[in-house]
Amino acid sequence: MNTYGTRFKITTYGESHGLAVGAVIDGCPSGVKIDMDAIRADMSRRSQGAPRQEEDKIEWLSGVKDGVTLGTPIAFVIANSNARSKDYDVLEHCFRPGHADYTYFVKYGLRDHRGGGRASARETAARVVAGAIARQLLEGITIHAEVAETGEQKEGDTCGGVVRCRIEGLAAGVGEPLFGKLNAQLASAMMSIPSAIGFEMGAGFGAALMSGSEYIDRWLPGGGTVTNHCGGVQGGISNGMPVEFRVAFHPVATLPQAVECLCENGELKLLDIKGRHDLCQVQRTPVIVEAMAALCIVNYIL
């Protein structure tokens, strides 16, 4: 289940504090000139202000020759150059609150406790690279995400926020009823991002309390609608209006203070984890939302 997509498939790999993260992309058409600058730009947006700065140099192992895709699987590697695994030694037998430490341990019977292992946001580097390639295949379609709301930042605490995303230029008719609905696929793509805790199309939860006559998007003569409460999708299929959705992210779970951890013997222990973490990662999230949106859309378009 580390594969996303049916036509443009990415399989990601790598733990936070292992040798590298990366992915194999299967299904990218041949003859595409990859815009390496665009990839670098997206990677910079992802790492801006991050406490753990890495070079994030991408090594291309296959599928690309002279910067052009061959139609064969594209494998790439991003070395983990700046991991400080020692910081996590105190966690060898204890589980942080608000993290996946415990659930990974239960599921796998063991874990790479250094820095969140596979559940770390480090893994999103591979998604951003793949998303940047996917985006180059979406001619005439723009995807733009930005922070819509941020929690108030208190001293010694962390925050989350809401990211809104808008896809323009997507023709009507994209989506696959019943279980490949565009809104449902966007939902699972977004909820797969670390810290995502809510998703809504268009007017979303607000729509639930509107009356029908307030809610329905009235037609304009010739097509298009006055409002876009549905977020550009009807019956799981795009209607030609911009696709609009919002994603809620909970606050960073690693507090800049000691927290009570649950240890394997069932006892609680006050621990101060020195790993380097954002206080408010939501600023770095829009590029990941865009990447997942691109990966979602490209699977319908190809």
**Residue in 8, 15, 132, 136 binding a second copy, rule: CB under 8 A:** 15
Nearer to a second copy, 40 or 269 (CB): 269
Alpha-carbon distance of 93 to 162, in angstroms, equals 34
Range 76-135, binding a second copy (CB under 8 A): 77, 95, 97-100, 102-104, 106-112, 117-119, 123
**Position 248 contacts a second copy (CB under 8 A):** yes
Residue 219: CB minimum distance to a second copy, A: 4
Half-sphere exposure (Cβ direction) of 236: Cα atoms closer than 13 Å = 10
Return the residues of window 134-193 that contact a second copy according to CB under 8 A.
149, 151-154, 157-162, 172-181, 183-185, 187-192
Provide the CB-side half-sphere exposure for 218 (13 A, CA): 5
Query: Candidates 41-49, 84-92, 137-145, 263-271 — which segment interacts with a second copy by CB under 8 A?
Result: 263-271
Q: How far is the CB of 48 from a second copy (least distance, A)?
A: 20
Sketch the per residue contact string, 217 through 236, with a second copy: x for CB under 8 A, - otherwise: xxx-xxx-x---xxx-xxxx
Q: Do 79 and 22 contact (CB within 8 A), yes or no? A: no
Which among 41-49, 50-58, 138-146, 243-251 is the span making contact with a second copy, rule CB under 8 A? 243-251
**Kindly report the CA angle at 52 between 46 and 54, in degrees rounded to 5?**
70
Apex 167 CA angle, 166 and 171, nearest 5: 145
Q: Which is nearer to a second copy, 41 or 274 (CB)?
A: 274
**Which residues within the stretch 20-39 sit at the binding site for a second copy (CB under 8 A)?**
20-22, 24, 26, 30-31
**Residue 182 contacts by C-beta under 8 Å, 6 or more apart in sequence?**
174, 175, 176, 233, 236, 237, 238, 243, 296, 300
Where residue 225 falls (left for φ over 0; alpha for ψ -120 to 50; beta otherwise) is beta
